[in-house]
Amino acid sequence: MRLLPAVAVLTLALGGCQSLPATNPAVPRDTGPPVADIATEDARFADVSGHWLDGWMKLNPVAATQLGDHRFDDRLDDLGPAGRAELVAFSTRLLADLDRLDASRLSRENQVDALILRNQLQSDIWNMQTFQSWAWDPQVYSGLAGGAIYNLMAREFAPMPQRLKSATLRMEQLPALFAQMRANLDPARVPLIHAQTVAKQNAGVLQLVDEFILPNAGKLTGADRTRLDAAVANLRKAVADQQTWLDKTLVPNAKGDFRIGRELYDQKLKFALMSSLSREEIGNRAKAEITRVRGAMYGIAQQVLKGKKGAPALPAHPTDAQRQKAIEAALELAYRDHPARAGVVDAAKAALAQATQFVRDKNLVTVPNDPVKIILMPEFQRGVAVAYADSPGPLDKGLDTYFAISPIPDDWTAAQTESFLREYNSRMIHLLTIHEAMPGHYLEGAYSARYPSTLRGVLRSGLFAEGWAVYTENMMADAGYMDSDPLFRLVQLKFYLRTISNAILDQGVHVEGWSREQAMHLMTHDAFQQEREAAGKWVRTQLSSAQLPTYFVGVQEQFDTRRAVEAKLGPAFDLKAYHDRVLSYGAPPVRFVRELMLDQPIE
């Protein structure tokens, strides 16, 4: 669900890749029961998982297109009463099929996949029946509307005329989706921030039409072109009508609480993470880690400020105020070096080339040759995150990964722009590129796409993906990226503080009822974020729940797994072999990687 704009596009073919190894003798191989004992049960599980994949794609056609299943490119999801009931009934039947399997007789890899599938089925039922995002979150519908077109047009998985015909059929159905949205949403349950955000995003659907469809419309002729033109005209009217409803009805009457509360949060967190850590454990671990990292940052501040004119006091045992002032002064040295307002994408381009070469030179992990494009974030996706990586679906092989960066809004003042650029200074651009692209999400996504289990590819763990991306920030700093520049390490630790504070913030807002002032203090004081970054994260926290902790929990489990393997292998531990092995599992929740690598029971 991303848009490839017609501006600022960079294609990098990251060549020189060798085959991606699935195993390495320096890392323990997995063992399991004899093949004769598992063949029958594995075959039964293959039937169940195949049935789920086929049925789920049919019920979620917009997601199916993004995942690379193009059988349903002419359809939209049905979120009306019948469609919701069908998904619940389907998931309930598949859960019963899973219950009839003997998990102890499955191969270890299929034990993992069976648990992942069970979690997805239970989550789908819970979302429809209990969480009911379809009844109060308009983002569900705006995401579908944008994704319906974007997923068809952004990647060249089929000839343009074929994709245009599918887009025509979906555009014809979008007015019905808008009508379904108006029927389903209860304004009394819709949070104001959700309504306002979607009201701003609504026109992004037409931007997709203008960017992708109209420039290529000439590739259709006759009745096909006539039908496309009619669909576009009808969609423009439907979007205008929808905008009127959003502005005049939904926004003025949106009275819901964006805080989902303790009970729903704990349930959603369990489904989202599949982690052994509870909310309380996550919170306690994050609070301890934020104290440790601030102490490390003070040590760097002492180093880079020593002897500088006007430097603050740097005592061996500082007060909180002294530590704060020293770290802020050290960060000021990094903030001074930032790209111009229009130079962020060019800076990311240079950072991507540098990080890729460094990973190769240091032999940190096998680098794939899949192409990656740096793009400006599409309008219908803006307002939630500053950047993201959008990997091709696991069923679409060899297509581009997009590293999208949100442009600075045209209506920002000079002061707001400067605040943003101080946060996304030159060193932070490097860290963002490491996280989103190399060796973070882009590289991890390329490995994930190679894993033979389609089920695991479709259910790729956000916890693994975000944990890996944060892990690589620290890994690159440890390896001496940017010539072991202490200011780069300082900014890396600040970036890591964002990861830690994300977990604390999400709980604080949705469970503990934090105010904006409490949230901003955590971000601007404890985590040293600039006002614009913190303000954007405050919006994101209101718009989402149980996603922000994936970064911290994921990286903690990545760190834990590496320590456990290092302890087992001792001097035989090889970093590149370890990284290749971790990535070879296809991005399941991290605890399963640890269990598979260390031959522990799959739980």
Which parts of the chain have pLDDT scores under 70? Answer: 1-37, 380-385
Q: How far apart are CA 447 and CA 460, in angstroms?
A: 11
pLDDT for position 33: 54
pLDDT for position 171: 98
Q: Which two tokens stand for residue 293?
A: 């990292």
Q: How far apart are CA 520 and CA 586, in angstroms?
A: 37
pLDDT for position 270: 96
Separation of first and last alpha carbons in the chain: 33
Q: How far apart are CA 145 and CA 162, in angstroms?
A: 19
262's CB contacts (< 8 A; 6+ apart) are 511
Long-range CB pairs of 354-362, under 8 A, 24+ apart, other chains included? 354/430, 355/430, 355/433, 355/434, 355/437, 355/438, 355/439, 355/476, 355/481, 356/12, 356/14, 356/438, 358/476, 358/479, 358/481, 359/438, 359/439, 359/476, 360/16, 362/479, 362/480
pLDDT tens, residue by residue, 547-593:
999 999 999 999 999 999 999 999 999 999 999 999 999 999 999 99
Q: What number of H helices and E strands is found in the chain? A: 27, 4
Q: How far apart are CA 546 and CA 110, in angstroms?
A: 27
pLDDT for position 599: 95
Contact status, residue 407 vs residue 424, Cβ threshold 8 Å: no
SS3 per residue for 253-287: HCCECCCCCHHHHHHHHHHHHCCCCCHHHHHHHHH
pLDDT for position 406: 80
Distances (CA, A) of 474 to 429, 434, 569: 15, 10, 22
Q: How far apart are CA 371 and CA 142, in angstroms?
A: 29
Please name the amino acid found at residue 240: A
Q: At residue 408, what are phi and psi to the nearest 5 degrees?
A: -70, 125
pLDDT for position 385: 61
